[in-house]
Copies of this chain bind each other. A is one copy, B any other.
Amino acid sequence: MAVISLRRARTMIRKAFEHARGEELKPMAAVVLDAGGNPIAFEREDGASPGRFDIARAKAYGAVMLGMPGSAQMARAEAQAYFIACANGALGGGLVPVPGGVLVKDSKGVVLGAVGVSGDASDNDAAAAKAGIEAAGLAAEV
């Protein structure tokens, strides 16, 4: 399995922020996690609220640990709230099951990690994450 290099993680974050500035979104935070759920890189734009790290990481953490991007976690939470509530407990309280936790995959579909973005509406966060991942030459599952 390939790993996400720091160089590529930086590209993901910068390009996610470029996307956000182009769309005039609110100040953002973005984190890149490896395939084990541990942080490689994080940045919080000036003006973003201080809890954005925790939210961004939780979006990405759930995506990696469950192999499900934020949109799929949200659908499951809508259909079966207690499942996501309890999965959250089993995973140490580390989930935020909404769009903005985006899987990073290689060309064969192997999960290399995830990007978590938080700052604007969830769908806008997810679009910024996707833009960053694709700019780094990898595939995004939103």
Contact = CB atoms under 8 A, between A and B. Distances in A.
A89 B80 contact: no
Interface in A30-82: 31, 34-51, 53-55, 57-58, 64-68, 74, 77, 80-82
Contacts of A87: 55, 58, 96
Contacts of A86: 58, 84, 88, 93, 95-97
A interface majority secondary structure: mixed
A117 to B, nearest CB: 14
A81 B84 CA distance: 12
B81 A90 contact: no
A129 interface: no
A55 B50 contact: no
A37 B50 contact: yes
Contact of A85 (B10, B54, B85, B91): B85
**List of 3 A-B pairs having minimum Cβ-Cβ separation, nearest first:** A36-B36, A51-B65, A49-B67
